[in-house]
Amino acid sequence: MAKEWFKPTNIGVSPFDASYIEEFELPLERTKQEIKSLGIVISAMSKKPRTLDIAGSFGRIGSELISQNLVASLVNLDLNEQFLQMARKNQITRVIRGDMRNLAFRDKSFDLALIMFTSFGYFEKKPDDLGVIKEAYRVLDQDGMLVLDLPNYTRISDNFSPDREMLLKNKDIIRYRKRLEGGYLVEERTRIKRNGAEENLLPIKLRVYSPESIVELCQDAGFNKIRITDQELKDFSELNSRRSWVLCTK
């Protein structure tokens, strides 16, 4: 069976290896805005939530939720052991290595589940995406909420920019070439080393979801109360919103 492209390796091939933190570093203001919005979501709950951060990586979101005392408890789940070690250093004591398609928790173990920073849509088979949402539904208690953070794919399509480059701290360059292909957003990656040598890296491949298709998927998983907003919890606009937050209540 072929190795799934997103799984971490030790040789810098997967997008989620050592250079991930530098390649995909987010501005502090974005994290602050997301925490502010999550704080509003949490304030509407009847109690501080038992929280599961699915594909929580190094704890960018979870560490802030803990430090601001917004949650009763938090578990950071990720497939990448390196990221989990970093999460521990970010004061997250409950970290679990696991696959989001098969959550190792009992039914109704959490009040809030998070899938942030485009951590959804990587799987080759669409039923796997449905399985992720079903698992989130299963581990949420009654009235629990899933917050699913996605790009606004419509805006990406309407303002398509195929090429970009990033200069890394070691002076290597990562060249990205993006395309829309067969329902996927594909971003090819090439590392150009300081000596001019080029190394092709595995592309990032994301299944594209429209607001209608993601709502249908969440309904199929069992959620019957679904709302889509932007990252500031304002009305979602396919034309203008940068992100779409899918808020699913059990």
**Tens of pLDDT along 13-43?**
556 666 777 887 889 999 999 999 999 999 9
| Residue 25: predicted pLDDT | 83
Q: Per-residue pLDDT for 7 more than 80?
A: no
Greater pLDDT, 199 or 114: 114
Please provide the average confidence, as pLDDT, over all residues in the chain.
92
**Over the range 12-22, which residues count as b (16 or more CB within 10 Å of their CB) and which as e?**
ebbbbbebbee
Backbone CA torsion sign across 80, 34, 203, 103: positive
Examine the pLDDT at 2 and tell me if it is beyond 60: no
* Predicted local confidence at residue 22, as pLDDT: 82
The percent of residues in the chain predicted with pLDDT above 70, rounded, is: 92
Does residue 1 register a pLDDT over 50? no
Residue 202 has a pLDDT of 79
Look at residue 20 in the predicted model and tell me its pLDDT: 72
Nearest to residue 145, comparing CAs of 68, 238, 47, 243? 47
Q: Is pLDDT above 70 for 172?
A: yes
d(C-alpha 157, C-alpha 154), whole Å: 5
CA distance 99 to 224: 25
Contact residues for 153 (Cβ-Cβ < 8 A; gap 6+): 185, 208, 209, 210
For the stretch 181-238, pLDDT in tens is 989 999 998 999 999 999 888 788 999 999 999 999 999 999 999 999 999 999 999 9
pLDDT of residue 3: 59
pLDDT of the residue at 21: 76
Q: Give the ranges where the chain is alpha helix by DSSP (H).
A: 20-23, 28-43, 62-67, 81-89, 126-139, 153-158, 211-220
pLDDT digits (tens, 9 = 90+) for 79-113: 888 889 999 999 999 999 999 999 999 999 999 99
Task: Determine the Cα–Cα distance for residues 127 and 114; give it in Å rounded to an integer.
Answer: 20
The domain defined by 20-152+209-249 folds into Rossmann fold (3.40.50)
Please state, in angstroms and rounded to a whole number, the distance separating the CA atoms of residues 20 and 83.
Answer: 10
As a whole number of angstroms, the distance between CA 61 and CA 39 comes to 11
Q: Does the pLDDT value for residue 11 go beyond 90?
A: no
Q: Where are the domains of the chain?
A: 20-152+209-249, 156-205
CB 137 within 8 A of CB 151: no
